[in-house]
Structure 1
Amino acid sequence: MGIFDIVFRSLAVYLFMIIAIRLTGKKELSQLNTGDVVLILLISNAVQNAMVGPDTSLLGGLVAAGVLFLLNYILKNFLYKNERLRNFIYQKPEILIHHGNLDFTTLSRLKITNEELQEAMREHGVERYRDVRLAMLEVDGNISIISNIDGMKQSTYKRKQAHKRLDAS
């Protein structure tokens, strides 16, 4: 198996993964839960042979890894320059609360629970919905809150941050 075959296979797997993640609704990997971590580990094992085939050499692995890093770099540059592609890959920020009024349709579609929204508000020192001028789910998975309370600043809340931790501490 040649290097160009590994390059082609790595390209195909990379494109498949980008499209699959986008179509399955995974906004950002900062929102990982236990199931997501297991899925990523299993996918990486499943696609390894698809990228390098029977080539288990160090060179084959380095070529596949190099192709993935290069593709990621190229994709980031295309996303920076191409708004249409950026809109396909990333979703838009979503308004959750506007002047104290909750957008129940958006909250339901994004599967954000009342408890999760209240936790984000408490993180920002806001007790009541009516004290929220604007709450947004940002494209990176954070909930940003701008309050009506004098002297309060805008702050952000990392949504589901506790799920990212893999250590026992």
Structure 2
Amino acid sequence: MIDHMFHLPLPIVEKLLRPVIVYLVLVLLLRLFGKRELAQLNPFDLVVLLSLSNTVQNAIIGDDNSITGGVIGAFSLLAINWFVVRLLFRSPRLTRALEGRSVILIRDGHVDEKALKREALTREELVEVIHRQGFEHVHEVHRCDLEPNGSFYVEARDPSIADKRHDELLANHKELLTRFEALNQEIAALRSRPATA
């Protein structure tokens, strides 16, 4: 039984190459199919990612269910990932080529419909993203980027000078109303006093 658990039916070189090839193909496919797959915006995208891992399992392990084969496959995946991460760290140009660039979805409170269409995002999904970031409306967002790793960067819109001036005037108006009300109460109090001769 112990011998069967560690018996390797496939050559070691094949066990090393299978995960490397699957890894590189998945990186390429995820790059081609866009950032949406990484963002996992809806249940369908999550199902695709979970199914994808199950789909490539046999391509990685082949007909081998041994512990030795599993350890070699895991080592191979970790080694190729380590190598790719180090390579991308040293080469920003290669990083941009493999990962792509961020896409601006909202600029100055306006949604870029063409960018949404390119990334296969609906307006409702975008609104859901900005709600999760604490914004109520799209016009409150200065900029929203979909990053190459599938995450969203959302930046608040600074109020315009006109908005700031409006808020100041409103605050001044409220203060004047409060003072006016206090004066009215004082005048009413003075009128209600009995006249002294």
Greater relative CO, 1 or 2 (CA 8 Å, sep 6+)? 1
Q: CA–CA distance in 2 between the matches of 1:13 and 1:39?
A: 16
Other structure's SS at 1:55 match: coil
TM-score computed with the length of structure 1 as normaliser: 0.71
Does the CA contact (< 8 Å) of 2:35 and 2:147 recur in 1?
no
CA distance in 2, matches of 1:37, 1:94: 21
C-alpha displacement at 1:126, in angstroms?
4.0
1:82 is aligned to 91
The answer on 1:111 being equivalent to 2:120 is: yes
Q: Judge conservation of contact 1:52–1:64 (CA < 8 Å) in 2.
A: yes
**Is the contact made by 2:142 and 2:157 (CA closer than 8 Å) also made in structure 1?**
yes
- Are the equivalent residues in 2 in contact too, given 1:138–1:144 (CA < 8 A)? no
Q: Which amino acid aligns with 1:78?
A: L
Partner Cα separation in structure 2 for residue 4 and residue 54 of structure 1: 15
Please give the per-residue CA displacement for 1:19-41, whole angstroms capped at 9, x wherever unaligned. 12211224553426433343344
Is the 1:126–1:147 Cα contact (8 Å) retained in structure 2? no
> How far is 1:64 from its partner?
0.4
Q: Which amino acid aligns with 1:21?
A: L
1:47 equivalent to 2:56? Answer yes
Q: Residue 56 of structure 1 aligns to a residue in which SS?
A: coil
Choose which of 158, 178, 185 in structure 2 pairs with 1:148. Answer: 158
Q: 1:51 to 1:92 in 2, by over 3 A?
A: same
Q: Which has the higher helix share?
A: 2
Instruction: Tell whether 2:31 aligns with 1:22.
Output: yes
For the aligned residue pairs, the C-alpha RMSD in angstroms reads 2.6
Deviations 1:30-80 (A, max 9, x none): 426433343344433333333332222100011001110111111111111
| Equivalent-residue separation in structure 2 for 1:145 and 1:37 (angstroms) | 26
The CA distance in 2 between the partners of 1:126 and 1:47, in whole Å, is: 39
Shift of 1:144: 1.0
Tell which structure's C-alpha radius of gyration is larger: 2
Distance in 2 separating the partners of 1:30 and 1:128: 21
Q: In the aligned structure 2, how far is the partner of 1:50 from the partner of 1:121?
A: 39
Consecutive unaligned residues of structure 1, counting only runs of 5 or more, are 151-169
- Partner Cα distance (1:105, 1:21) in 2: 21
Q: How many angstroms apart in 1 are the aligned matches of 2:144 and 2:17?
A: 44
Identity across the alignment (%): 34
Q: Does 1:98 align with 2:107?
A: yes
Gaps of 5+ in 2: 1-9, 161-197
Give me the whole-angstrom Cα distance separating, in 2, the residues matched to 1:38 and 1:122.
23
Letter in 1 for 2:152: N
Tell me the equivalent position of 1:157.
none
